[in-house]
Structure 1
Amino acid sequence: MKYRSLGPEFEVSALGLGCMPMAGVGANMYGQADDRESIATIHRAIELGVTFFDTAEIYGPRRNEELVGEAIRGKRDRVVIATKFGFRYDERGRMSGVDSTPVNVKRACEGSLKRLGVETIDLFYQHRVDPNVPIEETVGAMGELVVEGKVRHLGLSEAGPDTIRRAAAVHPIHALQSEYSLWERDVEEEILPLCRELGIGFVPYSPLGRGFLTGQIKSRDDLPEGDYRRQDPRYSEENFAKNMAVVEVVKEVAEAHGRSPAQVALAWLLAQGEDIVPIPGSKRRQTLEDSMAAADLELSADDLQRLDEAAPRGGTAGPRYGERAMAMVRL
């Protein structure tokens, strides 16, 4: 495994592990997970040199953090843990809206510390921007957690340019997590350059296009009934075939290297800059091992150009989310 820095003095593995597909998310999100296999996957990741593990309070809710906490017990000195806050929950534990008030920031932190079984969260993200709370108030509360030793570094997720600037003026921001892949390149226009101007590392989630770029999904019929991707605009009947054209090029490059399409898609992301640390999600060791092999795949200039031309910015058919979810990004 190779290593990179997210902002100053914050080293992580060049590829992290997105733990969302593990416990608590449900069968409609990438299929049912098995706790024992999920924990074995985290242990195998550590053996492979992966240090960066990503979870969130809302995954489950809370159940995902508990599983990650169980998996890292006795291994704390070998891992960097990122988790996220930013939602409120009703009396039944269901998410009922965004909430980045200082009170909720601190409540969420205390809960995450307990569930993860750690004394300090290495990277604490605001999961989604709360339009009703000034970012200065939220980041101010997050910064107090750093002073208290409960958090090491701060991050934002899916924040817009103005929010990023205002947040960084209050406290150093080490990472921005947003969707970025061959089929979602909008961050290249303004967000990524701004992060580089401010010295903020970039953590792409869904780096494999929710599985689309792996080449394993050849038609909508490959998705189980109830799979949420059946409602994804880019997986729709009208957009699926057009988006498959990108996958065909990824497959051809993969075959030329004797690698998997997933490895090519991740290697393309890694080639976009040393400040980029993708977090492919996995709940099985086999998938994990395939993804992590991308860390040593060097694509040629011709490969990169071919992929760029096949998947230009704005070229993917359909928006990346439905209307409701799109209203929560780039705020």
Structure 2
Amino acid sequence: MKRNRLGQSELYVSEIGLGCMSLGTDKEKGIALVHQALEGGINFLDTADLYHEGLNEEIVGEAVDGRRSEVIIATKVGNRWEPGKEGWTWDPSKAYIKEAVKDSLRRLQTDYIDLYQLHGGTLEDPIEETIEAFEELKQEGLIRYYGISSIRPNVIREYAQRSNIVSVMSQYSIIDRRPEEQVLPLLEEKGISLIARGPVAKGILTRTGAAKLAKGYLEYSEEELSELYATLLEQGGSGRDLAHTAIRFALASPTVAAVIPGASSMEQLLHNIAASAAEELSAAELAQIRKISKGSGYAQHR
């Protein structure tokens, strides 16, 4: 599988990674999915301390035991869970980040994290303090690089200008082209990669996605979404699977280093991996997709 350089780092990630949030809570099943991903050429695993209160990191840690050098592990921090309290609280403080990393390292059964990501962020955060925490973790050898996971252009802009992030994880697909307006041009200018999550838009952009059109999606009404869906199916004909078209669309941007579709079954995982062998979209195909889909920007957090 093709590998791309993540920003200006020394990390080369498989163009299709594994979004581990979808692995579930069955350890045996989750470990089997990770092992199949590795056998299929995936080397990039994305998890977070938030997922199932740390269980997801534990599954990833057990799955890569003995194979740590083969994988690039990305995890996230900032959402604080405290036993006895309901839900999570947002905490981007230096003290919390430097404490939370120890728990993630323990659950992942490793002594370093390849990519440590801030799991959100607002302009009200102590941004300099947050950056300082990540820089110190780099110096201490606990993380190799850091990035942020955000859909807020104003927050992304601050970190792109003030820190050494190598990546931004953000939602990006045929039916969520919002990053094209501000985020992708900024990242290209700064030499920062986009990690595209949601490339098949919660399963809508698959051949079985027709059942999910009723609720619409972002600015798309059910009618608009149904029309686009039918056009995309017709455009692909029998030559290219719709999900593969969606994944190749996200990867067509030179700023996108990897897409991270989730997979809760072996069938889904193998289908995602197969997209790496699918023919890249031509310039004409890309232009047509952009013509029939919406290229709207972010209404908030500009």
Structure 2 residue aligned with 1:3: 3
The number of equivalent residue pairs is: 300
Which amino acid in structure 1 is aligned with residue 2 of structure 2? K
Equivalent runs, 1:50-89 vs 2, <5 Å: 50-89=42-81
Whole-angstrom CA distance in 1 between matches of 2:262 and 2:79: 22
Which amino acid in structure 2 is aligned with residue 138 of structure 1? T
Equivalent runs, 1:222-241 vs 2, <5 Å: 234=217, 239-241=221-223
Once the two structures are superposed, what CA deviation does each residue of 1:113-166 show, in whole Å capped at 9, x if it has no partner?
A: 000001100000000104442211101111100000000001011154443343
Which region of structure 1 is more displaced relative to structure 2, 9-18 or 238-247? 238-247
Task: Describe the SS at the equivalent of 1:50.
Answer: coil
Q: 1:294 aligns with which of 275, 289, 300?
A: 275
Which amino acid in structure 1 is aligned with residue 147 of structure 2? G
Q: Residue 219 of structure 1 contacts residue 240 of structure 1 at CA under 8 Å; is this kept in 2?
A: no
Segments of structure 2 that go 5 or more residues without pairing to the other structure are none
Q: Residue 61 of structure 1 contacts residue 93 of structure 1 at CA under 8 Å; is this kept in 2?
A: no
The two structures have a TM-score, normalised by structure 1, of 0.83
State the shift of 1:311 in Å: 1.1
Structure 1 residue aligned with 2:249: 268
Q: 2:189 aligns with which of 197, 209, 228?
A: 197
Structure 2 residue aligned with 1:311: 293
Structure 2 residue aligned with 1:186: 178
1:307 to 1:168, Cα distance in 2 relative to 1, 3 A? closer
Structure 2 residue aligned with 1:49: 41
1:168 to 1:219, Cα distance in 2 relative to 1, 3 A? closer
Whole-angstrom CA distance in 1 between matches of 2:155 and 2:173: 22
Which region of structure 1 is more displaced relative to structure 2, 295-304 or 182-191? 295-304
Which amino acid in structure 1 is aligned with residue 17 of structure 2? G
Q: Residue 194 of structure 2 contacts residue 257 of structure 2 at CA under 8 Å; is this kept in 1?
A: yes
Whole-angstrom CA distance in 2 between matches of 1:73 and 1:202: 28
The two structures have a TM-score, normalised by structure 2, of 0.91
Once the two structures are superposed, what CA deviation does each residue of 1:44-84 show, in whole Å capped at 9, x if it has no partner?
A: 11111111000001111111111111111111111000000
Q: Residue 19 of structure 1 contacts residue 53 of structure 1 at CA under 8 Å; is this kept in 2?
A: yes
Which amino acid in structure 2 is aligned with residue 7 of structure 1? G
Identity of aligned residues (%): 34
Once the two structures are superposed, what CA deviation does each residue of 1:277-331 show, in whole Å capped at 9, x if it has no partner?
A: 111111222111111221232222222222111213129xxx9xxxxxx98xx58
Whole-angstrom CA distance in 1 between matches of 2:17 and 2:236: 21
Which region of structure 1 is more displaced relative to structure 2, 277-286 or 117-126? 277-286
Whole-angstrom CA distance in 2 between matches of 1:296 and 1:204: 18
State the shift of 1:110 in Å: 0.7
State the shift of 1:273 in Å: 1.6
Which amino acid in structure 2 is aligned with residue 12 of structure 1? V
Q: Residue 118 of structure 2 contacts residue 149 of structure 2 at CA under 8 Å; is this kept in 1?
A: yes
Which amino acid in structure 1 is aligned with residue 44 of structure 2? F
Instruction: State the Cα RMSD in Å.
Output: 2.5
State the shift of 1:88 in Å: 1.8
Q: Residue 23 of structure 1 contacts residue 67 of structure 1 at CA under 8 Å; is this kept in 2?
A: no
Task: Describe the SS at the equivalent of 2:221.
Answer: helix
Which region of structure 1 is more displaced relative to structure 2, 119-128 or 303-312? 303-312
Segments of structure 1 that go 5 or more residues without pairing to the other structure are 25-33, 223-229, 320-325
Which amino acid in structure 2 is aligned with residue 53 of structure 1? L
Q: Residue 158 of structure 1 contacts residue 178 of structure 1 at CA under 8 Å; is this kept in 2?
A: yes
Structure 2 residue aligned with 1:133: 125
1:121 to 1:192, Cα distance in 2 relative to 1, 3 A? same
Whole-angstrom CA distance in 2 between matches of 1:38 and 1:248: 34
Whole-angstrom CA distance in 2 between matches of 1:296 and 1:217: 22
Q: Residue 65 of structure 1 contacts residue 116 of structure 1 at CA under 8 Å; is this kept in 2?
A: yes
Whole-angstrom CA distance in 1 between matches of 2:223 and 2:151: 31
Q: Residue 140 of structure 1 contacts residue 170 of structure 1 at CA under 8 Å; is this kept in 2?
A: no
